[in-house]
Amino acid sequence: MRKLATLVALTAASPAFAASGPFFSLRNTDFIVLLAFILFVAILLKFKVPATIAGLLDKRADDIKNELDEARALREEAQGILASYERKSKEVQEQADRIVAQAKADAAAFAEQAKADLEKSIERRLASAKDQIASAEASAVRDVRNAAISVAVAAAGDVVAKQMNATAANKLIDAAISEVDAKLH
């Protein structure tokens, strides 16, 4: 049927039939073109081409609408995710700032504690050094005193030995005995 319609359309639209004369004559080209157009429209209607084209266009319009809706939904979801990530990023940044501030505070506290400990250690070492110096000084003074006493006793012994006679020795012994007796009674 399709081939027949095509053949009729081709032969009907042939320039051999183009002639002047009455309009409803097969020799009038305007009438042949009109018949071919009506036949073409009839074939299109018979095969439901306009409905098919309208259905395809409606389907395409629905597909485009669905794609737009899906794109809009994806955009809204992406904006929501972006906002969520921005909130999380802000929270993480705030947390990082708090951690840094806490670390700085801890470092300052540790530095102050270390400074205080160092000062205490220096004070203890200074006190220990002063004690050692005082002990060494006392030991040196004692050693010098003992040496001076030894030298003085030796010198006094030499002087006394040279000047001492028996009478003077007896007087000294008596004086010492009376002094001890007075202190004991």
pLDDT at 157: 72
What pLDDT was estimated at residue 39? 96
Question: Taking a C-beta distance cutoff of 8 angstroms, is the pair 5, 19 a contact?
Answer: no
Question: In this structure, is residue 36 part of a structural domain?
Answer: yes
pLDDT for residue 12: 53
Radius of gyration of the chain from its Cα atoms, rounded to whole angstroms: 67
Rounded CA-CA distance 77/70 in Å is 10
Domain containing residue 176: 154-184
Q: Which residues in the chain come in under a pLDDT of 70?
A: 1-21, 185
- Residue 105 in any domain: the answer is no
In a domain, 134, yes or no: no
Domain contains 58? no
In a domain, 109, yes or no: no
Length of the chain: 185
